[in-house]
Chain A
């Protein structure tokens, strides 16, 4: 708070117009999902954004289903979906599937990847997997207060450059950094910030070849999909829900239009 007078010119400073909407989510303009490892404070951030009081607890695996709420910022209405915490998106447990299917099929306009600043490396494993699926994301470096207390320093600029998405440091329990986070969300949602997400470098030549063959075939069928490599990889791994989505053509329809309202309806129909 002491630094406040230095930031008066920053647009973030004047963002007092966050209106928490609780569960009132009619006519939303954008859909935001919160994803991340277990126990990184997703639910706390969710509560801060929406003004709801979802039960939070210092233990991994508390949120098993997704919780939804809303807020409004600068006249736009956002729906926030709190996803269960997972360590990866590769396996088949129900909570991981809930998270992955929502990011993939629910097509949120922004995915906020909530990471524990004190355990960045492990949290990045999931962040990289999320960036394989979606183009629009913000990395929320939460628990930054704990990191500071433990003498851990993180170079946010480099991190942001490496990942190709905005990085915001927060201490959600103290409500620190929330304005910056909402601003980053807004900028990605409205397209003011364009992400160039990091893509994993596959080191096996054979696998790379297989992926590129499949990618070509897939791009004929689903020309607008941004994450064809990932779909190809999932097909190679025999992921049943992706196979089903390719077979039925659902994967292509998802991308036909990116109007958020339509995406939302699609999600609600499920």
Chain B
């Protein structure tokens, strides 16, 4: 009885609030905010004093005038990005070679010898050493050096306070696209990890704009895809340029793909806000934090532990089972053909329309759990199907790659052209998000529909773009 009475009393309170709200008129919310602002301002006047003539942050403002100016903002942004990639591309080669000679040339035969000594069954040795171990070794030697250079540099830019300036520069573009200006921030987060970018979209108030930010986040190249871009650009695009320009041109190509991603992010946002997610962009204020001298050691620590090791660990975890899967599809046979060859032959004619090949398509399917393993998978499958004698030690076995030059030899042997490389770079930018991101999108939106849209929209776009690039390329080449 008492419980019922108090429940009724509580409802009465709510009714009273509802009726009073109408009496108060629409402006009372503003008057509350005004009161807060007045009080805050009064207390601040009473307690804050300035000594000296100097305006605070005059240097910051001078720098901001340059880096956020209408004319120099974007060029500076692109130059900084290009510089970061150039350092990454030119610095990663040597340590990469060192690691691969250690892990693959020395340790792999050693493990095989041990397996032979203890009489391990051939299939178990195949799965564990040629499948799981080699793919892991590959991921470490190819991915660790660029990440260990790229992430600290990126973290330094973040610590310095440059990222909000990037967001500031891009804000008006996003608004014109009907999206929220803060999407520039979630986009920057996506450059690290799309799943993180999707979660970061929580800073956007309006559900419509938040959905746009979530769906388009995949257009930011993530950790898992940077190495693919950097490697392919180094081999094929840098390789097509004169030697002393190679580093710069391949860095330029990677920046180009990243900028293309931003471009698609804007275009797709615009398309969504004009169609299924119609609405006006809401206003917001973005605060430019003061420039702070980065703490170098701390930056190195957090970027190495939080980012590099984290991403590498994830890559390794996914590479182990993927290595096993690759070994299995390469060794389980239907008639004369292995499962992998079967799929590749079946998919080749279709893939060629898009400038890709069956190997690449299969690799992207195997790599759905982690974009990081696209390249190792492609290499293994290429060797397998091109039937290159002497490189591998058997079907589905990764081989000794001593340098990036060896990688190139394999890919060219798999009849790759400049077009294949460009298509792969485009497709790596524009395809479905990794399974972690897809799951995160579902958790954030709680909607199967939007998860499907976010998954298949980029894939569809990627196929369209690759198709037209290929057809135009082939037409011009005639």
> Using an 8 Å CB-CB cutoff, how does the interface string of B114-142 with A read, 1 for contact, 0 for none?
00000000000000000000000000000
Tell me if A198 counts as interface (CB < 8 A to partner B).
yes
> Which of chain B's residues have a CB closer than 8 A to the CB of A94?
202-203
Q: Which residues of A contact B389 (CB under 8 A)?
A: none
Query: Shortest CB–CB separation between residue B305 and chain A, in angstroms?
Result: 7
Task: Tell me, rounded to whole Å, the shortest Cβ–Cβ distance linking B448 to chain A.
Answer: 20
Interface status of A217 (Cβ within 8 A of chain B): yes
A38 x B287 contact (CB < 8 A): yes
B203 touches A64 (CB 8 A): yes
Instruction: List chain B residues, Cβ under 8 A from A210.
Output: 20, 23-24
Pick from A12-20, A55-63, A183-191 the stretch touching chain B.
A55-63
The distance in angstroms between the C-alpha atoms of A198 and B42, with both chains bound, is 13
Interface centre among A61, A65, A203, A207, by most chain B C-beta atoms within 10 angstroms, is A61
For residue A27, CB closer than 8 A to chain B, the reply is no
- Select the stretch in B3-11, B223-231, B239-247 that faces chain A: B3-11
- Taking CB atoms, residues of chain A closer than 8 Å to B295 are 173
Contact (Cβ within 8 A) A60 B24: no
Chosen A-B contacts, 8 in total, with CB atoms closer than 8 Å, are A38-B287, A59-B289, A118-B57, A122-B40, A146-B290, A152-B49, A207-B31, A235-B17
Q: How far is the CB of A95 from chain B (nearest CB, A)?
A: 6
Q: Report if B35 contacts A (CB, 8 A).
A: yes
Whether a CB of chain A sits under 8 angstroms from the CB of B12 is yes
At the interface, yes or no: B37 with Cβ under 8 Å from chain A?
yes
Any A CB within 8 A of the CB of B306: yes
Q: Which residue of B lies closest to A235 (CB)?
A: B17
The verdict on A120 contacting chain B, using a C-beta distance below 8 Å, is: yes
Bound form: Cα–Cα A92–B158 in Å: 28
Is residue B28 contacting chain A, with contact meaning CB distance below 8 A? yes
Docked complex: B13-49 residues within 8 A CB-CB of A: 13-14, 16-18, 20-21, 23-24, 28-29, 31-41, 43-44, 46-49
Residue A204, interface by CB 8 Å: yes
For chain B, residues 147 to 171, give those with C-beta under 8 angstroms from any C-beta of chain A.
155, 158-161, 163-164
B83 at the interface (CB under 8 A from A): no
CA distance A87 to B284 in the complex (A): 11
A118 and B290 in contact, given A151-B51, A162-B46, A249-B10 (Cβ under 8 angstroms): yes
Known contacts A59-B185, A64-B202; 13 additional CB pairs below 8 A are A59-B158, A59-B164, A124-B40, A125-B36, A150-B57, A153-B48, A158-B46, A202-B32, A210-B20, A217-B12, A221-B6, A235-B14, A237-B29
The answer to whether B287 touches A247 (Cβ under 8 A) is no
| Bound Cα distance A120, B182 (Å) | 24
A134 to chain B: which residues have CB within 8 Å? Answer: none
A11 an interface residue at 8 Å Cβ cutoff? no
What's the Cα separation between A146 and B48 when bound, in Å?
Answer: 14
Bound together, the chains give a CA A185 to CA B458 distance in angstroms of 50
Within 8 A of A (CB), among B49-70: 49-52, 54, 56-57
Beta-carbon contact of B44 and A217 below 8 Å: no
Q: Are B202 and A39 in contact (CB under 8 A)?
A: no
Query: Count of A-B contacts with CB under 8 A?
Result: 186
* Binary contact readout A204-237 vs B (1 if CB under 8 angstroms, 0 otherwise): 1011001001100110110000000000110111
In the complex, A1 has a CB within 8 A of chain B: no
Quick check: A152 and B48 within 8 Å, CB to CB?
yes
A203 and B33 in contact, given A59-B163, A153-B49, A217-B13 (Cβ under 8 angstroms): no
With both beta carbons as reference points, the residue of chain B lying nearest to A132 in the complex is identified as B36
B200 an interface residue at 8 Å Cβ cutoff? Answer: yes
Contact with B along A146-177 (1 / 0, CB 8 A): 10001111111011001100000000010000
Report if A121 contacts B (CB, 8 A).
yes
Cα A92 to Cα B206 with chains together (Å): 9
Chain B residue at minimal CB-CB distance from A156: B47
Contacts of B11 in A (CB 8 A): 247
In the complex, the 3 A-B pairs of residues with the closest C-beta atoms, listed nearest first? A121-B44, A150-B56, A93-B205
Count A interface residues, CB 8 Å.
67
Of A53, A58, A124, A247, the residue contacting B14 (CB under 8 A) is A247
* Cβ-defined contact, B12 with A58, below 8 A: no
Contact with B along A114-130 (1 / 0, CB 8 A): 00001011101101110
Please provide the chain A residues from 229 to 265 with a CB less than 8 Å away from any CB of chain B in the complex. 232-233, 235-238, 243, 246-247, 249
Q: A162-B46, A236-B17 are contacts. A55–B302 as well, Cβ < 8 Å? A: yes
A61-B289 in contact (CB<8A): no
- Contacts known (A64-B203, A207-B28, A236-B28); A155 close to B14, Cβ less than 8 A: no
Residues from chain B with Cβ under 8 Å of A129 in the complex: 36
Question: In the assembly, what is the distance between CA of A110 and CA of B451, in Å?
Answer: 40
| Contact flags A71-95 to B (C-beta < 8 A → 1, else 0) | 0000000000000100100111111
Say yes or no: is A8 at the interface (Cβ < 8 Å to chain B): no
Chain B CB within 8 A of A26 CB: no
Taking CB atoms, residues of chain B closer than 8 Å to A151 are: 50-52, 54, 56
The answer to whether A120 touches B202 (Cβ under 8 A) is no
How many Å from the CB of A152 to the closest CB on chain B? Answer: 6
Assembly CA distance A214 to B28 (angstroms): 16
User: Which one of A38, A91, A93 has the greatest number of beta carbons of chain B within 10 Å?
Assistant: A93
Q: A90-B33, A94-B202 are in contact. Are A58 and B47 (CB under 8 A)?
A: no
CB atoms of A159 and B43 under 8 A apart: yes
Cβ contacts under 8 Å, B33 to chain A: 90
Q: Are B28 and A204 in contact (CB under 8 A)?
A: yes
| A200 near B44: Cβ-Cβ < 8 Å | no
Contacts of A268 in B (CB 8 A): none
The distance in angstroms between the C-alpha atoms of A222 and B348, with both chains bound, is 71
Are A60 and B287 within 8 A (Cβ)? yes
Residues of A within 8 A of B20 (CB): 210, 213-214, 236
Q: Are A120 and B48 in contact (CB under 8 A)?
A: yes
Interface contact B40-A125, CB-CB below 8 Å: yes
Of all chain A residues, the one with the shortest Cβ separation from B37 is A125
Q: Which of A39, A127, A150, A214 contacts B287 (CB 8 A)?
A: A39
